[in-house]
């Protein structure tokens, strides 16, 4: 078991070093204790469920004849906030870039790595 825990810590460290997650994820982990041993799992599960719904909503909205960029921006803003709250730094950065495209009302904009 120690070997697996060590591998998990190494993986988490690598993910943080690559900017996929940030320190907020570590802070989230610190909130988990014996009274709520599944806290992080539950939070991340909710994050993925909400993300799936938001991404589906954005996809549907982008496929409309008259694209409502204000609504799409609201979805991207919500995704950005959710991502930041769990420490998903790369997703947060991509949402920021996507919001910029919404503000410019640019359907053909290409997302590039912001960092």
Residue 30 neighbours by CB distance under 10 Å: 9
**Does the global pTM surpass 0.95?**
no
CATH entry 3.50.50.60 includes domain 2-103: no
- The domain ranges of the chain are 2-103
Q: Among 24-28, 51-55, 104-108, which range has the highest average pLDDT?
A: 51-55
Residue 32 neighbours by CB distance under 10 Å: 15
Who wins on pLDDT, 9 or 94? 94
Residue 87, classified by CB atoms within 10 Å of its CB into exposed (0-12), middle (13-18) or buried (19+), is buried
């Amino acid at each position: 078991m120690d070997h697996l825990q060590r591998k998990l810590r190494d993986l988490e460290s690598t993910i943080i070093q690559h900017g996929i997650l940030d320190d907020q994820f570590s802070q989230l982990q610190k909130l988990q204790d014996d009274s709520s041993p599944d806290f992080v799992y539950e939070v991340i599960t909710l994050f993925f469920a909400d993300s799936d719904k938001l991404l589906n909503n954005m996809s549907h909205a982008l496929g409309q004849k008259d694209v409502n960029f204000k609504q799409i921006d609201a979805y991207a803003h919500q995704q950005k906030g959710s991502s930041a709250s769990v420490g998903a730094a790369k997703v947060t950065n991509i949402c920021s870039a996507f919001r910029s495209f919404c503000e410019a009302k640019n359907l053909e904009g290409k997302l590039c790595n912001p960092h």
